[in-house]
Amino acid sequence: MLAGIGLMPHGNPVLDPPDKETRKLAEVLKNIGKAFADVDAYVLISPHNVRMSEHLGVVMAENLISWLGFDGVELPGEWRTDRELAEEIYERARKEGFPVVDLHFASRSGEYSRWPLTWGELIPLQFLEKKPLVLLTPARNLSRETLIKFGETLGEVLEESDKSAALIVSADHGHAHDENGPYGYRRESGEYDRLIMELINEDRLEELLKIPDELIRKALPDSYWQMLIMLGVMHRVEVELKGSAYACPTYFGMAGALWVRE
Amino acid sequence: MLAGIGLMPHGNPVLDPPDKETRKLAEVLKNIGKAFADVDAYVLISPHNVRMSEHLGVVMAENLISWLGFDGVELPGEWRTDRELAEEIYERARKEGFPVVDLHFASRSGEYSRWPLTWGELIPLQFLEKKPLVLLTPARNLSRETLIKFGETLGEVLEESDKSAALIVSADHGHAHDENGPYGYRRESGEYDRLIMELINEDRLEELLKIPDELIRKALPDSYWQMLIMLGVMHRVEVELKGSAYACPTYFGMAGALWVRE
């Protein structure tokens, strides 16, 4: 059964908030951690782990190991995969014809069955109790419809499971907010981020489907594709928004939102 | 153009050979290194990196970083991906309808475009001059025909390339040679390994196709699937065997073989 959904950023500033907005954002992230402190597992979708253009990934490797921090911020730690839940998700998605791959590494089981984690997973995990994980990866070249339908299937598997699970969507938004940042300044980053926060706060996430490709392309988010999967999950489970926040202390926009099942 | 093919084991004993047979094997591996010292790139197929059941992988990540040794033997180092050649292989295979995925990690380019290496790659690489790599991963649940045809496509891409490349097939063979080993003793491991060496030495590799599933399953090799890909490459490029050796100093069989283009 799905306990709820957390949309969480993966930027270093939430670890040591430099300003009031980022502190408010970090509070929402802590509330996500509290809301889901008793679940059996997290299903974590990350855009900064394996990136396949046309295939969704389900990590099966048993041991998930910190490997790659951003900008020198290392966050050591090890987590375990909920292999049973991972297999349920993979098998259902495969049977339903989604372009999905099972991701083992080195060995199929045991101590050498390992998988590397990056800041994309490690930063959200700093706010969450240590639980077994199912790590999923989105794909940018799949159609919007496929991503939503995969989310619907994911929602069905989670609802049918005996386990209580929370869906954690790791995502940052526009990356061109600062003319001195690595992607320069583009007004579309602000436009995209304002729109995303409106859709979240006004319960209008169906309108994700109306966002033009051009705006997404220019805004440089790493949120859109996994948010479509999240929308699909929401088609299968009624959830209620309990809190949200946005901050942009550097060049990229960060959002947090907590939904719990109604 | 394909310079040749090296079949190389990935067991720690070749790094410090404990007996005469393993020393002979290490000599063959050194000869592979010498034969391919002047190529532009290696295409390396490894069974101990990402393992997907039904999809072949082409690693696109730019920086390949030592991550996981076996039994405490760490082999640090970094290599670069030949992204151009990797894209040629991926795009051709994709267009021809193979179940192939492009594997990025963390970021699509730059310093955070990284990929972890294991003993499956690192041990063969100890015998090879440092060159750009294309790392490929096999898949056990694909049909024999699909693996061979993928090899044929790979051979065509390599032959058409302006670059000189060597194909390196990382493989160990039966893993149940020792009753005290982790997989115990099965006579099929010896049977499989003897057959593989016969097929190599007698230029009868087409007979790989005749090996019964049952024998492969019981022998516990991690060689068969990437050897089918190798056979497909050999369908497109005439090569000549220049040396081979076999050793089994512990519980698994190790083979080395060097083929150069005729």
pTM above 0.95, yes or no: yes
What is the pLDDT, as a whole number, of residue A25? 98
A48 touches chain B (CB under 8 A): yes
* CA nearest neighbour of A169 among A35, A48, A27, A25: A48
What is the homologous superfamily of the domain B2-261 according to CATH?
A: LigB-like (3.40.830.10)
Size of interface A-B (CB pairs under 8 A): 67
B137 touches chain A (CB under 8 A): no
Q: Where are the beta strands (DSSP E) in chain B?
A: 2-8, 41-45, 50-51, 56-59, 63-68, 78-80, 100-105, 114-118, 133-137, 165-170, 239-247, 254-261
List, in order, residues 6 or more apart from A149 with CB less than 8 Å away. Answer: A98, A232
What is the pLDDT, as a whole number, of residue A109? 96
Euclidean distance between CA atoms B87 and A199, whole angstroms: 38
- Write the DSSP symbol of residue A127: T
Using the beta-carbon criterion (under 8 Å), do B51 and A112 form an inter-chain contact? no
What is the pLDDT, as a whole number, of residue B103? 98
Confidence class for position A132, pLDDT limits 50, 70, 90:
very high
Euclidean distance between CA atoms A200 and B19, whole angstroms: 67
What is the pLDDT, as a whole number, of residue B122? 98
CB contact at 8 A, A136 and A43: yes
Q: Distance between alpha carbon A148 and the CA centroid of its chain, in Å?
A: 14
Confidence class for position A254, pLDDT limits 50, 70, 90:
very high
pLDDT, average across residues A23-32: 98
What is the pLDDT, as a whole number, of residue A111? 97
What is the pLDDT, as a whole number, of residue B89? 98
What is the pLDDT, as a whole number, of residue A135? 98
Using the beta-carbon criterion (under 8 Å), do A68 and B120 form an inter-chain contact? no
Instruction: For B177-225, give the DSSP string.
Output: B-TTSTT-B-HHHHHHHHHHHHHHHTT-GGGGGGS-HHHHHHH--S-HH
Mean pLDDT for back-to-back runs of 10 residues, chain B (262 residues): 98 98 98 98 98 98 98 98 98 98 97 98 98 98 98 98 98 98 97 98 98 98 98 98 98 98 94
Tokens encoding A254: 């960060």
What is the pLDDT, as a whole number, of residue A20? 98
Using the beta-carbon criterion (under 8 Å), do A51 and B116 form an inter-chain contact? no
What is the pLDDT, as a whole number, of residue A159? 98
- Domain locations along chain A: 2-261
A53 touches chain B (CB under 8 A): yes
Could you report the per-residue pLDDT of A62-106, keeping only the tens digit for each?
999 999 999 999 999 999 999 999 999 999 999 999 999 999 999
